[in-house]
Amino acid sequence: MSLETVRGAATIEEVAAAAGVSRSTVSRVVNGSTAVSPEALEAVQRAIAELNYVPNRAARSLASRQTHAVALIVPEDTNRFFGDPFFAAIVSGIHSCLNKSDYVMNLFIASDDPGDKTTSYVRSGAVDGAIIVSHHSTDLFVERIANTVPVVYGGRPVREREKDYYVDVDNVRGAKDAVTHLIESGYSQIATITGPLTMPAGIDRLEGFRQALEAAGLSELAVEDGGFSAEGGAEAMRRMLARGIRPDALFVASDLMAQGAMGVLNAAGLRVPSDVAIVGFDDSPVASTVSPRLTTMRQPSFAQGERMAQVLLDRLAGKHPRHVTILETELVLRDSV
């Protein structure tokens, strides 16, 4: 049996016979070569459809030295990955793009990489490239992967290098616009709940918060790290209230953290927005399901996933995409301000 066919399926020789062409012509069609006449292309495609011929990916990989697989690496624990709608939108965007190509996606969720399990797999040649999303300054294994295969980052890399490729949103500008909206709405005692300051998104959104306050001549009331989770947002709000801090407005660097903070405020007898106004970040489904509905900064997570995948596909095809792609955010007004 030919290496190019799946066991039990039609063979490449049968396709060639049905199409009235040589075996090499069928192989060229299967592998996307343009060195085939329109008549032969049509005949081969018709024979493939009639015989239900399925090329063997492993055999094609041996011939091309490509696996036609990419790794999506998420350096987070499983609770964070499955609990945050941001990742669902990112993965959907990546899948939408890859689904139109010959590539498949392997998913790795790893808050660290004990024994270099993920790193060794990627470096073994099992994938042609990788997309890395939600990385922290402590994720040193990410750099070992980036030194082995083409990588595209979701978000600015922790230790950015000139040769890096990444797709991000303008986190500084988005946070600054969110806080400016609070200030222009008449609030002046403004605190923030940040994401982890081991992550560029957490750092940049805090920077935007501070830039908006400085431009208005205001001082920050409080800064608490909520870890980009609902539980972390709730704990951050409890710490703030335990210190006797009563902001009239909050900028919360993710919708999930805002959800957690709103629950704590409600339990403390403080109402949103009459006692505390809140602006979140993401415009995830959470923003529309909490009560009151959350005013938030929309980041185009699905589009970000699509763009990351396309940049990686372009790199693997030998093209030269832009190293840095920055997507815009948008303030979505609802009921929490």
Question: Of 197, 79, 84, 80, which is closest to residue 138 (Cα–Cα)?
Answer: 197
Distance CA 258, CA 262 (A): 6
pLDDT of residue 156: 93
Q: Is residue 2 part of a domain?
A: no
- Indicate if 283 and 182 belong to the same structural domain: yes
Distance CA 138, CA 55 (A): 42
pLDDT of residue 136: 84
Buried b (16+ CB within 10 A) or exposed e, 271-286: ebbeebbbbbbbbbeb
The encoded tokens of residue 64 equal 């091309």
Q: Is residue 110 part of a domain?
A: yes
- Indicate if 152 and 178 belong to the same structural domain: no
pLDDT of residue 6: 39
User: Mean pLDDT: which of 36-40, 155-159, 314-318, 331-335 is highest?
Assistant: 331-335
- Residue 70 predicted with pLDDT over 90: yes
Q: What percent of the chain has pLDDT over 70?
A: 92
pTM value? 0.79
Task: Give alpha helix (H) positions in 99-159.
Answer: 117-121, 141-146
pLDDT of residue 220: 95
In degrees, rounded to 5, the angle at the alpha carbon of residue 121 between the alpha carbons of residues 115 and 125 is: 145
Q: Which domain holds residue 307?
A: 69-169+302-327
- Indicate if 56 and 175 belong to the same structural domain: no
| Conformation bin of residue 153: beta by default, left when phi > 0, alpha when psi is -120 to 50 | beta
Q: What is the mean pLDDT of residues 95-110?
A: 91
pLDDT of residue 4: 43
- Indicate if 164 and 82 belong to the same structural domain: yes
Q: What is the mean pLDDT of residues 235-262?
A: 98
- Residue 33 predicted with pLDDT over 80: no
pLDDT of residue 115: 72
Q: Is residue 5 part of a domain?
A: no
- Indicate if 19 and 138 belong to the same structural domain: no
Q: Is residue 3 part of a domain?
A: no
Q: What is the CATH number of the domain that holds 239?
A: 3.40.50.2300
- Indicate if 101 and 117 belong to the same structural domain: yes
20, 42, 180, 191, 285 from 276: Cα distances, Å: 75, 66, 16, 10, 22
Q: Is residue 147 part of a domain?
A: yes
Cis peptide before 273 (omega within 30 of 0): yes
- Residue 126 predicted with pLDDT over 50: yes
Number of domains in the chain: 3
- Indicate if 113 and 145 belong to the same structural domain: yes
- Indicate if 49 and 89 belong to the same structural domain: no
pLDDT of residue 274: 97
pLDDT of residue 2: 39
Q: What is the mean pLDDT of residues 110-138?
A: 84
- Indicate if 188 and 295 belong to the same structural domain: yes
Distance CA 253, CA 248 (A): 17
The encoded tokens of residue 112 equal 């660290």
Q: What is the mean pLDDT of the chain?
A: 90
